[in-house]
Structure 1
Amino acid sequence: MSGDQVPLRHSLVTRLLVAAVVIALAAISATAWLAATTTTRAINYEQGGAVADQKAVYQALLGYAATHHDWSGAAALVRSRAAELDRRITLTTDDHRVILDSQTGPALRNTSPAAVVDPLQVDLGLTGGDEHIDERAVGPYVVPTEDRYVLSEVAKNSLACFHKVGYDGVIEVATTGRPSVVLTNVRAEAERPLTRSVTESCGFALDSLVSAAEKKALQTLTTLTARCLNLGDRTSELRITPTFDAYLGESAVVRTAHEKTEVKPPSLLEPAGPVGVVRGCVESARRTQLRPYVAPRALLFVTAPGTGDTTLRLSGGSIGRIVAVTGAVLLATVAATVLVGRRLVRPLRTLTDAADQRTPAPVSGRDEIGRLARALNDSAQRRDRAEAQRRTMVNDVAHELRTPLSNIRTWLEAAQDDLAPTDAQLLALLHEEALLLQHIIDDLGDLAAADAGTLRIDPEPTYLRDVLTQVVDSHRGSALAAGVRLELSVVSDPVVRADQVRLRQVVGNLISNAIRYTPPGGSVTVGADGTTISVRDTGSGIAPADLPKIFDRFWRADESRSRVTGGSGLGLAIARHLTEAHGGTIEVRSEVGRGTHFTIRLPGPTTTR
């Protein structure tokens, strides 16, 4: 520039331009933030109301279905609920044939139901309870009025028994009219802990006393349950109490309220089988028995009046507030921009539109407007990259933490159900899984280190039998839940130089994948011979064309699988990096329909203990 010219950074044009840019950026930021905040609050408020309305409708219809054998009398209930909520409420069969409709409207074949109304298969997410069969579905278990006094007296005696050994409680009467004792407090002078033997010794008299109607219903339930459990010759020994506990044994007697029969507590009997299996059979038999007494299963649709639209719509007040906030900010922006100058309006408006639509801003030149456009584009790209990295990190963490958390949950639930002893071995196993969680979190960062060639391990002499036994034991719960047989076969007692935690992670990833892709009834075999470790399954196998890709990150053989069922695709990538960090190799052989065989070869000599 010539010497008599004002430096560009001090010129009026520059200051006006800077002022215009500041105003535009402030307006855009304020509009986006205020509109987003107001919209989010409005949507959250109305969404919460819609969910509450759906729960209320579901609870009302569930109560009707539990106490009626069909839907013929529910029309008034449906219409009244629809009028209260200003919504269309429709009940249909599974094939979308309309049972009841609060008003006429389009067919709902392409609309997802809000819930399935079935008192024998309750949606616990909507009810918040823990019983799959609605307690109001009593069917043939109603206690006659003349027997309720006798049962009430026995319940009082049971409560007195609990009180005598140091426990307080109350008597609650179920929908069927049967009383039960619910313990509320343990006093300091209690003679002994509340064990199953204490509960049975004080409560068995009440459980064994039934009305004639209940006795007949329980006999039918016993027959159905025995058929489910395949008891064969022991069918006659099966006894089910009014609280639906099942026992085997010749001494189990159920008596009516008018019989004087010598009975013995269930402590002299044996359980009818594994808790989960028996409970499932009893529930299945109850559903079969109660089905004629409840309304048929129905799909519930809660939609906009006169339509099949389930989309959440903002109310007029919410829309008005959003429009008012946005309009006020935009009006202030227009006023400030006019003061800056007409020549600055056009490029600034272009930048504003690009920012609102989240599209690349056009770069008009090398001036300040052009630099601003480039800055906006770079910011959008960095934001997109940061968002993609955030999603990737969350997905990686979810995938890698799922397996050890599932193992911990499985063993804890087994201990709660008395399927596994709560001893030092269990605590040690859970502690090992917790430590593995911490190492898995560190391994997510190690993937980046592996790419850079800086991944570090701490090798030491390691007995393969001990490591493989720990990994297999930690996965037995998930294998049992999947119906897969998990076996271990180690030749001698080989020793390798390896990082124990890293090696457990490698083998654990392979076992998890094997269990996931092996159908019920199949098997997964973990073996070791010298420095070679193998994981073999009888699962679905991998197509030959896909074998070269299985160690790629985020790759899945079945693209239709979700992350819950198919994993994130990181497990095998981590296994390969960790194996190579040990100086070893990992290979895979597979045949579609017959299973997959992974082989890990570690370097170095082996010794035996």
Structure 2
Amino acid sequence: MARRHSLLARLLAMSVLVAGCSIGATAWLAAQSTNSAINQEIGETLATDAKIYDALLGHAATHPQWSGVQQLVAELAAQTGRRIAVTTTTRAPIADSGGPQDPPLPKTPSAVVDPLAVDPVLKPDSADSGIDARAVGPYRLTDAEREDIRQHAQRQQACLRARGEQATLVELPTGRTTVQVLDQQASARVPPTFPLVVAPTPPPAERIGWCAEPPPTTATETEATRQLLELVNACLSRQGLEPLAVAPESVVFPEGLQSTPETKRCVDAGRREQLAPYVSPAAQLFITRPGSSINSAVDLSTVGVARIAWTALGVLVVTVGVTALAASRLVRPITAITAAARRMGDGDRSVRVDTRARGEIGELAAAFNAMSEQVARSEQQRRTMVSDVAHELRTPLVNVRGWLEAAQDGVATLDQPLVASLLEETLLLQHLVDDLQDLALADAGKLRVYPEPVHVGALLEQVTAAHRGRAEAVGIELTATVDGDPDLTADPTRLRQALGNLVSNALRFTRPGGRVSLWARREGDHVLIDVADTGVGIDAESLPHIFDRFWRAEKSRSRDRGGSGLGLAITHHLVAVHGGRIEVRSTVGVGTTFTLHLPA
């Protein structure tokens, strides 16, 4: 397509002349006045947002629910002059400093307050795990434990000060008090001897050991660490990794559980799972200006506003005039497409757009015509499917009704063979209804799969075992082969259903003495599973239709070979919902091979 016919190119050509004149006139007026104002506004906004975010994050990290946050929101709003609103992830209000005069909240929140997933932009000093340091959960000490640790730390501090050390007490978020020695102030030396020997200053941790052993681990910390190790080791076990060899008594705070790059993911996941009941659920934070939206105007300049306004008005008038002149020619084909769309909405499926326009409008018309044809085909397929469903249901229902009426009139005896025949017809109806339900779920996008690691060899053995009795009854050899041990993550139930449909079809169309084989192997990043038979084959004309609903190779739609005509359609959907694809190769009189390509 020539780009000169592009709608975008024509609009750009019309506006370049006007825009070029306006840019030179307005750029220098706006640049100086906007740069400083924007930079100042952004800096103040980010600092204020970070302050509000950190305060609310601290509340969420130390409270299991958001109840009681309204007072904190009101205090922050009074300090910052902002309207602050906190809602659930479904936008249900939790707290709001605004009033009825304020407009609705914007569509996009300013941030998501989640102590288990800290925003590194608003809190750059957050830990690599993304968990707020104030979220300690079960590590929070009891009052008695806190007092005992504090007294122990005070004795250490007094001892260190007696030795001339500058020692301070620091309380961790868990409530544990620790002693911190200021290294730059330390100056410990041994008594002078002859010759004079000066000892180097030991590090802070070693100098604390001069006075007493570190405070013991409390029962609360030990139990919390034990719970955390159970969660982490369960995750590591699922990934085939060795558990952490850590004693619960050696960890006194949540971040103290050391991890390697291989175990970090499980350690972080275990911490989040342990802390979840102790922190508030994730909430959306909205920060706006009182009485206006977040995008309200900012005074960008104190001079030249009138000149900018008059220049913009002149550019607007010229642009409107030039655009209106050309728009009349551009909108005519769009009007034709709109009229055709209305006719299609009224039920006319044969409507088409006849336009000689090129570029994007021509492509739009072609796309509309293609869509109209597809809608017409879908309507015809729907009518055909209704007719096919009625046909498939009618035969077993007529059989059941006929035999029951005959038994009621005394013409037939309701003996065991007749009951077995009626049961067979009922099972056929049930199978057809189940197939239709699977197709309805697939069409609605609700056909769910539950992936899990699958042993391909065991899966193929299950499928062959389920069909081996039928194969032996008609003298067909049924085998399964697996090359290596390919990794596969899939829904085993749905995958067995798909392979079972293919094996059933293969047995149905393979003559006695033939062979049906399953073969699985790994190729690149896919696992391939073949279902091959030595049956009658499928002609080239029928191959494009084998996944259509109710399609059968027999034009007479006979049930002599069984099947509802839905098995391959369901199989196609089952493979697609796994993210794979299915292909078929067939030679008449030689056999057919279906190949499933599934992501490894």
With the length of structure 1 as denominator, give the TM-score of the two structures: 0.38
The structure that has the greater radius of gyration is 2
With the length of structure 2 as denominator, give the TM-score of the two structures: 0.39
